[in-house]
Amino acid sequence: MTVPGLAGGRHGVQELQPLLETVCAALADGARARAGAVAAGGPEAVAAAVAAAVGEAMPRSGTGEREALYALVRALAAGAADPAEPYCAAHLHCPPLAVSAAADLAASALNPSLDSWDQAPAASELEARVTAALAELVYPDLPAPDALVTTGGTESNQLALLLARERAAGGPRVQIVCGANAHHSVLRGAWLLGLPRPVVLDTPAGLLDPAAVDAALDELPGRPVVVATAGTTDTGAIDPLPGIGRAVARHGAELHVDAAYGGPLLFSSREAVKLDGLQSAVSVSLDLHKLGWQPVAAGLLAVSDRAALRPLAHRADYLNAEDDSEAGLPDLLGRSLRTSRRPDVLKIAVTLRALGREGMAALVDAVCDHAADLAARIGRHPGLTLYAPPVISTVLFRPSDASDEQVAELRRRLMHEGRAVLGRARAGGRLWLKATLLNPYVRPEELDALLQFTAPDTEGTTAP
């Protein structure tokens, strides 16, 4: 076997290029073998196919670079649930842009690590500029906003709660107040940080009610933190931010908005109005690996004032010695709780530059339009019931006469047959099929076909 080449350095490209051909061939062959939204046959069939392709996960002697790349990339593609397929629309799991995936390859080849300037000189400056631009997108009217790159909404929410806890240091422990519609990471974050159990307010209409927030805050001492959601994972609903902001201000509390899903609506002047009131939050989580067409991970935590990030300051002599900082080497450790850290900002930066804000807005508008279109088709369909008009790009529906068990079974059957991956969500006391539309190029006839798969009178028909 030849020695394995390095991805970077003067000869990196010579090493990479032929391997990329193998990767592309394997991706193409794997997608052809799958021929649809998802690998058919369920967990057993997929496990058997992967076992056959992988064999021994760590053979005594290697099979060589090209063989290994081809075998495993093909197996992964053949056994994928590929969000670029029009009938793969279960989760906030987006089809990444090719340009972003290409940029991510460069990030891997160069491997800058954003825990110290001497590992990431240009990457750290790029991150500073891009996060400044994104912070300004969230807080256009404030003088000193900032944003951190995270692994996603979970880390962003945790960091937001951590910063709130530290602001309250010395006083009573911070009490979180959120809706029953809040993401599970809010509860876990409070648990992880040793905060009191969050007060979870009922959201019978799927939304956090400002009056309920007001009443809850009446009962709580200190400076509670209200967590509102802009784009719930289940329905895409956006809590009424202006009213919640007023209730929070009246009580001298703080607001964090989990806009992991809805945040990128800000790119679109048409859609951004749905986030009015966002600027009253001390911090905002948003994910670009959902409504931003980035490969995972591409999360952000924006803060209204960069002073809020001070509690993250940390020293480690080998990374940010005080004399190095005094001599002008930028200190990166306070930009994350992680140490080694991928330059996830590169793919984001490339995407924002390639598409511009207008290009991002066009994609956002497209998926919102598709959701409105799908909802209209459901409304006209005699056998299907729509939960509610979509707010972002999530559409909940169900065969009108089906029981919850039949809805759950239908979802599993479509997945097992490899025809479609739809999500599930409980809302208004019932179980619904959930289509999370993140493919900006899905066609009207594909939306119709998706509905045909689920409609009661067409059970058993084959995919077009």
Ligand X SMILES: *Cc1c(COP(=O)(O)O)cnc(C)c1O
Q: Which amino acid is at 77?
A: A
From 117, 261, 267, 432, residue interacting with ligand X (rule: CB under 6 A): 261
- State the nearest-atom distance from the C-beta of 387 to ligand X, in Å: 17
Q: Quick check: 152 binds ligand X (CB under 6 A)?
A: yes
- State the nearest-atom distance from the C-beta of 274 to ligand X, in Å: 14
User: Are 238 and 229 a contacting pair, CB within 8 Å?
Assistant: yes
From 116, 124, 203, 233, residue interacting with ligand X (rule: CB under 6 A): 233
Give 355-420 as a 3 state SS string: HHHHHHHHHHHHHHHHHHHHHHHHHHCCCEEECCCCCCCEEEEEECCCCHHHHHHHHHHHHHCCCC
Q: Which amino acid is at 401?
A: D
- State the nearest-atom distance from the C-beta of 231 to ligand X, in Å: 6
From 124, 154, 175, 283, residue interacting with ligand X (rule: CB under 6 A): 154
User: Are 88 and 81 a contacting pair, CB within 8 Å?
Assistant: yes
Residue nearer to ligand X on the CB measure, 153 or 399? 153
Q: Quick check: 287 binds ligand X (CB under 6 A)?
A: yes
User: Are 48 and 93 a contacting pair, CB within 8 Å?
Assistant: no
Rounded distance between C-alpha atoms, residue 92 and residue 437, angstroms: 8
Residue nearest to ligand X (CB): 152
**Cα dihedral 376, 379, 384, 389 in deg (nearest 10):** 70
Query: Of the listed pieces 131-139, 229-237, 337-345, 381-389, which binds ligand X according to CB under 6 A?
Result: 229-237
Query: Of the listed pieces 94-102, 226-234, 337-345, 356-364, which binds ligand X according to CB under 6 A?
Result: 226-234
Q: Quick check: 437 binds ligand X (CB under 6 A)?
A: no
For residues 293 to 332, the per-residue mask of contacts with ligand X, x marking binding by CB under 6 A and - elsewhere, is: ------x---------------------------------
Q: Quick check: 258 binds ligand X (CB under 6 A)?
A: yes
Q: Quick check: 436 binds ligand X (CB under 6 A)?
A: no
Q: Quick check: 181 binds ligand X (CB under 6 A)?
A: no
Q: Quick check: 394 binds ligand X (CB under 6 A)?
A: no
Nearest to 434 by CA among 232, 158, 199, 296: 232
The neighbour count for residue 106, using CB atoms within 10 Å, is: 16
Query: Of the listed pieces 94-102, 209-217, 254-262, 272-280, which binds ligand X according to CB under 6 A?
Result: 254-262
Size of the site for ligand X (CB under 6 A): 15
Rounded distance between C-alpha atoms, residue 57 and residue 73, angstroms: 14
Q: Quick check: 241 binds ligand X (CB under 6 A)?
A: no
Q: Quick check: 153 binds ligand X (CB under 6 A)?
A: yes
Crossing angle of helices 241-250 and 210-219, in 10° steps, is: 20
Token digits of residue 172: 């009573």
Q: Which residue has the tokens 């009938």?
A: 87
Q: Quick check: 292 binds ligand X (CB under 6 A)?
A: no
Residue nearer to ligand X on the CB measure, 146 or 258? 258
Q: Quick check: 229 binds ligand X (CB under 6 A)?
A: yes
- State the nearest-atom distance from the C-beta of 284 to ligand X, in Å: 11
Query: Of the listed pieces 56-64, 152-160, 210-218, 379-387, which binds ligand X according to CB under 6 A?
Result: 152-160
- State the nearest-atom distance from the C-beta of 217 to ligand X, in Å: 22
From 74, 183, 370, 398, residue interacting with ligand X (rule: CB under 6 A): 183
Q: Quick check: 260 binds ligand X (CB under 6 A)?
A: yes
- State the nearest-atom distance from the C-beta of 271 to ligand X, in Å: 16
Rounded distance between C-alpha atoms, residue 209 and residue 202, angstroms: 9
User: Are 338 and 242 a contacting pair, CB within 8 Å?
Assistant: no
Residue nearer to ligand X on the CB measure, 26 or 230? 230
- State the nearest-atom distance from the C-beta of 287 to ligand X, in Å: 5
Residue nearer to ligand X on the CB measure, 239 or 331? 239
Q: Which amino acid is at 322?
A: E
Q: Which residue has the tokens 């690998």?
A: 39
Residues 90-149 that bind ligand X (CB under 6 A): 92
Q: Quick check: 206 binds ligand X (CB under 6 A)?
A: no
Characterize 299-337 residue by residue with b for buried, 16 or more Cβ atoms within 10 angstroms of its Cβ, and e for exposed.
Answer: bbbbbbeeebbebbeeeeeebbeeebeeeebbbbbebbe
Rounded distance between C-alpha atoms, residue 425 and residue 435, angstroms: 10
User: Are 154 and 185 a contacting pair, CB within 8 Å?
Assistant: yes
- Using CB under 6 A, list all residues that contact ligand X: 92, 152-154, 183, 185, 229, 231-233, 258, 260-261, 287, 299
